[in-house]
Structure 1
């Protein structure tokens, strides 16, 4: 994917391997990237070796105040946020839905849907300052066909899709595009999907799900 993000600011909430791949891809295309999360791997080292503009901070995504402060600080520092990538992930709860405990549901929702929602809310004032701002929520295409022990993850993934369509509708009047990218192959495929959805090439896309590793682009069905 050949996209130009020079002069643009991107924030990635969630620094797992998928989030790291997205951050590196955006920075390699010229963006100033801000990444937060508990697990950032070797992102700082890779950014230093390639002289990329990537700023990181370790924090739990479920800490509403810390997440909001990080996003706001990036927006204030750069003046606007052009790309907000929401990568809320939860530890897998591998058991039948009928055996899931209430606290496990609460944790899963807090680490996925609530994290994504809070990140968008925090970024909203700064997205409104940008030209052609884009929000991209990350999910997993494999969860459209969940195994017998993947019910919680599948429900959360469905929630991310529904949130994508809802936010796309609610933010259309503010000219903020909201789409989702689903991991269907390697993380490099996912990064390419995010680059496309965040770029001018996808200026006509909002409320869509792009499955990385799959050429299918479709409207999200809530």
Structure 2
């Protein structure tokens, strides 16, 4: 039996592995919520940002925040479903940056409706917003990752369980998760790592109205998730920073479940009155 060959790292692990110094990071849906936190987070760790969103005012505020950390922020006001507009934004950004190091596919969204009530137009919109724009961005960005890079897609816990009233949204998030694993293999020779984060229970703008429409309001008799504290957009930023940095340089094709243990619980809930776990 031959011994396995173990290569030595270029340098011992240290703070430099966590740095994103001088890397160019594309973040979609960057004007608010998780996208804003991610864009500001990578800037804190030294990255320059290419921010894409429909919200021009929100992008202007984000740019000020990124520049306050001494980093550059190029903004593109467009709908990620508009492939031609996205291509124009990326072409202008690459002309200035020279390359792209990290792509964060954060943009997405949905609405509550029973599957049989979703019109063909609504279905097309959900597919375009949650899947097609992701595949287009990856195809558009990869040629500019000339020195390797990282792709991180923000999916959802709904991509790993049933989503009644959100069937198409859930299906597209599951599709992105599967795409992540496939592309991790296809892009390995290019030294591009491909991973995902699957959030749950992280409040962002519009969540309350969506939950009310779905009738999915919290039940005060049970904890919302196993972990005692609520998640924040900065928790999503931390996971993305980890996956974008050299701290995760041997991780590809994986998903971080950013949900306070909800996925692990698989339906188990803790009753607040006595701490009992019930199905």
User: What range is the shorter-chain TM-score in?
Assistant: 0.7 to 0.9
1:175 aligns with 2:221: no
**Number of aligned residues:** 214
1 CA distance for matches of 2:43 and 2:183?
A: 26
Q: Partners in 1 of 2:174 and 2:193 — Cα distance?
A: 19
Instruction: State the match for 1:67 in structure 2.
Output: 86
1:141 is aligned to 2:160: no
Distance 1:133 1:23, change over 3 A: same
Task: Decide whether the 8 Å contact of 1:186 with 1:213 is kept in 2.
Answer: no
Corresponding residue to 1:79 among 86, 98, 106: 98
Q: 1:99 to 1:145 in 2, by over 3 A?
A: same
CA deviation map 1:23-60 (0-9, x unaligned): 10011111111101113623134234444422222111
Cα deviation for residue 142 of structure 1 reads: 4.6
Helix, strand or coil at the partner of 2:155: strand
1:85-100, aligned counterparts within 5 Å? 85-90=104-109, 92-100=110-118
> How far apart are 1:202 and its partner, in Å?
0.5
Partner residue in 2 for 1:166: 182
Which position in structure 1 is the counterpart of 2:127?
Answer: 109
Asked if residue 4 in structure 1 is aligned to residue 19 in structure 2, the reply is yes
Superposed displacement of residue 143, structure 1: 4.8
Out of 150-159 and 71-80, give the one that drifted further.
71-80
- Structure 1 residue corresponding to 2:256, chosen from 192, 210, 213: 210
2:137 alignment partner in structure 1? 119
Q: Extract unaligned runs of 5+ from structure 2.
A: 1-14, 201-230, 263-279
CA contact (8 A) 2:43 2:69 kept: no
Structure 1: distance between partners of 2:178 and 2:163: 21
Q: How far has the Cα of 1:156 moved from its partner?
A: 1.4
Is the CA contact (8 Å cut-off) linking 1:72 and 1:123 kept in structure 2? no
Alpha-carbon distance, 1:17 to partner:
1.4
1:164-196 CA distance string (max 9 Å, x none): 112112111211111001223321111111001
CA distance in 2, matches of 1:14, 1:88: 4
User: Of residues 58, 74, 87 in structure 1, which corresponds to 2:77?
Assistant: 58
In the other structure, the counterpart of 2:226 is none
Which residue does the alignment assign to 1:13? 28
Bigger drift between 148-157 and 42-51 goes to 42-51
* Match in the other structure for 1:27: 43
Deviates most, 8-17 or 114-123? 8-17
Q: CA deviation at 1:73?
A: 2.6
Root-mean-square deviation (CA, aligned residues, Å) is 2.3
Q: Which runs of no fewer than 5 residues in structure 1 stay unpaired?
A: 217-222
- What is the rounded CA distance, in whole Å, between the counterparts of 1:22 and 1:64 in structure 2? 23
Larger radius of gyration: 2
Structure 2 length-normalised TM:
0.70
